[in-house]
Amino acid sequence: MFEVLPQLAPDPILGLSAAFKQDSNPRKIDLGVGVYKDEQGNTPIVSAVAKASKRLLEQETSKTYITPQGVQGFIDNMLGLILGHKSPVLMADRAAAVQAPGGCGALRILAELLTRVNKDLTVWVSDPTWANHIPLIGNAGLKIKTYPYYDKATASVKFDEMIDTLSTIPQTDVVLFHGCCHNPTGGDMTKEQWRAVLDVTQQQGFLPFFDIAYQGFGDGLEEDAYAVRLFAEALPEIIIAASCSKNFGLYRERVGLAAIITQSTQTRQIAQSQIQSVARGIYSMPPSYGGALVEIILSDDALKQEWISEVDDMRTRMQSLRGMLVSALSKKGANKDFSFVNQQKGMFSYLCISPDQVQQMRDDHSVYFVDSSRVNIAGINHENVDRLADALISVL
């Protein structure tokens, strides 16, 4: 039966890990998949997560089914983390939500929910966007269009062009925004720019769809929620996909949240019933383990503080790695100014080099990153930064 199907190329992001593993060069550098790494190149378990895990093991008495919406304590705490604990939206009981199997699961079930509203609906994504946005949303049957976002030539957000395109999008469409730490570019909008985007959104009436997968990795947990909170408080409806993969380091446990902010409590009840039925129809219910860990952490003041300071440490370390790369390149006399890397936010930097140069980095120097020129900043360390800078200079 399956011989009729074509053999597919490896995934543009996850496939890099396999290629990296096969490379026998002992000095190879992995800047591919977006996972946090320490100075030794390891991805340790966040200590608040390790403690919560121990506690859960002692407390858990059953492995019976949970519900399609997931762990309620997880959902309530995550809504507070994203929207703010005193959010008027939460006070007004306007948020429907389910625990989802990772940020990917959240994106997909929201896309499936959108097809229930209109199977021909169009979702606009930034150009460029995270490579998996298009299959996750497009495979649900929705149409995809792009709006201009990032200019490789100037390494900055194409703000005016973006606003021009957003100003043509009809009320019936959906626009996907990255809440913070834009993936792949690391190019975020200022607060003033977000307010201008909100104005266009209000004028056009399209539905904003926020993907917030890196809360805490840009400027801080509260600061990174600025855009989502701004839109949630100003508009009758927005939808949100959030991930706990990065900030809780729960990658393989698949923990995320899909939320729908509705106009009224009555619509919230409709949305809640629909999103649960979407989940039931695909995977029945999310895995409970990761959500239970997040619930334990966010419900316990001491553990929560410990987690916040670990997120702060990851963020400040990544910021210092940006500075380290920029200064190595400038000291070595790179003929391109890379100081824009210091302005980009989060886990990724778009180096704004060509796909051929990216390929040369891989073939000639065993440095692995995504074809778009996206590097995982957390893969840089004191031991490899000079080699990385030399390799970059040689392909420029």
Give the residues lining the site for ligand LMR (CB under 6 A): 13, 33-34, 130, 132, 183
Whether the CA torsion 229, 234, 237, 238 is positive or negative: it is negative
Q: Among residues 68 and 256, whose Cβ is nearest to ligand LMR?
A: 256
Residue 306: exposed, middle, or buried by beta-carbon count in 10 A (0-12, 13-18, 19+)?
middle
Q: Among residues 97 and 213, whose Cβ is nearest to ligand LMR?
A: 213
30, 173, 188, 211: the active-site residue: 211
Q: Among residues 121 and 318, whose Cβ is nearest to ligand LMR?
A: 318
Taking the complex as a whole, how short is the minimal distance between the CB of residue 394 and ligand LMR, in angstroms?
A: 25
Q: From 5, 307, 242, 232, select the one nearest 107 (Cα to Cα).
A: 242
28, 37, 158, 246: the active-site residue: 246
Contact criterion met (CB below 8 Å) for 151 and 158: yes
SS3 347: coil
Q: From 142, 150, 106, 102, select the one nearest 124 (Cα to Cα).
A: 142
Phi, psi of 93, deg, nearest 5: 60, 50
262 C-beta neighbours (distance < 10 Å), count: 23
130 is catalytic: yes
Contact criterion met (CB below 8 Å) for 332 and 393: yes
124, 130, 194, 307: the active-site residue: 130
Q: Among residues 32 and 68, whose Cβ is nearest to ligand LMR?
A: 32
246 is catalytic: yes
Taking the complex as a whole, how short is the minimal distance between the CB of residue 163 and ligand LMR, in angstroms?
A: 26
The tokens describing 145, both together, are 């269009």
Taking the complex as a whole, how short is the minimal distance between the CB of residue 294 and ligand LMR, in angstroms?
A: 18
Taking the complex as a whole, how short is the minimal distance between the CB of residue 242 and ligand LMR, in angstroms?
A: 13
Taking the complex as a whole, how short is the minimal distance between the CB of residue 109 and ligand LMR, in angstroms?
A: 16
The tokens describing 78, both together, are 């995550």
Q: Among residues 42 and 59, whose Cβ is nearest to ligand LMR?
A: 42
Calpha distance 260→183 (Å, rounded): 22
Taking the complex as a whole, how short is the minimal distance between the CB of residue 254 and ligand LMR, in angstroms?
A: 11
Nearest residue to ligand LMR on Cβ basis: 34
Q: Among residues 165 and 183, whose Cβ is nearest to ligand LMR?
A: 183
The tokens describing 297, both together, are 């952490």
Taking CA atoms, 131 is separated from 13, 106, 125, 138, 155, in Å, by 8, 16, 11, 12, 19
Known catalytic residues are: 130, 211, 246
